[in-house]
A and B are shown apart, each in its own frame.
Chain A
Amino acid sequence: MASQIHIRFEVNYPALTLAVNLELPGQGITALFGHSGSGKTTCLRVIAGLEKALNVYLNINGEIWQDDHAGIFLPTHRRALGYVFQEASLFSHLTVRENLAYGQKRSQNNSASINFDQVIEWLDIEPLLQRHAEHLSGGERQRIAIARALLSKPRLLLFDEPLSALDLKRKAEILPYLERLHEHLDIPMLYVSHSPEEVARLADHLVLLNAGQVIASGVLQETLARIDLPSAFVDDAGVVIDTVLTHHDDEDCLSRLDFAGGIIYVSRQPKAIGSRLRCRIHARDVSLNLEPLHNSSILNTLAVEVVAIAETDNKANVLVRLDAYGVPLLARITRRSWRKLHITPGLKLWAQIKAVALFE
Chain B
Amino acid sequence: MLNADDITALILTLQVACIATVCLLLLGTPMAWWLVRTTSRWKRVINTLVALPLVLPPSVLGFYLLILMSPTGIIGQLSVALGLGTLPFTFGGLIVASVLYSLPFVVQPLQTAFAAIGERPLEVAATLRASPLDTFFSVVMPLTRHGFMTATVLGFAHTVGEFGVVLMVGGNIPNQTRVVSIQIYNHVEAMEYAQAHWLAACLLIFSFVVLLLLYGINPKPGR
Contact = CB atoms under 8 A, between A and B. Distances in A.
A48 B129 contact: no
A152 B131 CA distance: 14
Interface stretch (A16-24, A56-64, A73-81, A162-170): A73-81
B78 interface: no
Nearest to A99: B128
Interface in A71-125: 75-78, 81-83, 85, 89, 91-94, 102-103, 106-108
A85 B128 CA distance: 12
Interface residues of A, number: 24
A48 B127 contact: yes
B121 interface: yes
Interface string B128-170: 1111101100110011000000000000000000000000000
A149 interface: yes
Contacts of B129: 77-78, 103, 106-108, 152
Nearest to B126: A76
B121 A50 contact: no
Given A76-B126, A85-B120, A91-B121, A102 B138 contact: yes
B134 A106 contact: yes
B134 A76 contact: no
B14 to A, nearest CB: 32
Contact of B131 (A48, A77, A83): A77
A53 B5 CA distance: 66
Contacts of A77: 125-132, 134-135
B194 interface: no
B124 interface: yes
Interface in B22-42: none
B192 interface: no
Interface string B94-134: 00000000000000000000000000110111111111101
Which of A75, A77, A106 has the most chain B CB atoms closer than 10 A to its own CB?
A77
Interface string B181-205: 0000000000000000000000000
A263 to B, nearest CB: 46
B139 A91 contact: yes
B29 to A, nearest CB: 18
A337 to B, nearest CB: 52
Most buried by B among A78, A91, A148: A91
Contacts of B134: 77, 106
B128 A102 contact: yes
Nearest to B132: A77
B128 A106 contact: yes
B125 to A, nearest CB: 8
Interface in A32-72: 48-50
Contacts of A48: 127
A76 B127 contact: yes
A102 B134 CA distance: 11
B223 to A, nearest CB: 12
Contacts of B123: 50, 76, 83, 85
Nearest to A87: B120
B106 to A, nearest CB: 22
A284 to B, nearest CB: 41
Nearest to A102: B128
B127 A81 contact: yes
Contacts of B142: 93-94
Contacts of B128: 77, 102-103, 106, 148-149, 152
Contact of B124 (A78, A85, A93, A108): A85
A83 B127 CA distance: 6
A89 B138 CA distance: 15
10 contacts: A50-B126, A76-B126, A77-B125, A77-B131, A89-B121, A91-B143, A93-B142, A102-B128, A102-B130, A149-B128
Interface of A: 48-50, 75-78, 81-83, 85, 89, 91-94, 102-103, 106-108, 148-149, 152
Given A93-B143, A102-B125, A103-B129, 11 more contacts: A48-B127, A50-B127, A76-B127, A77-B125, A77-B134, A78-B129, A85-B120, A89-B121, A91-B121, A91-B143, A107-B129
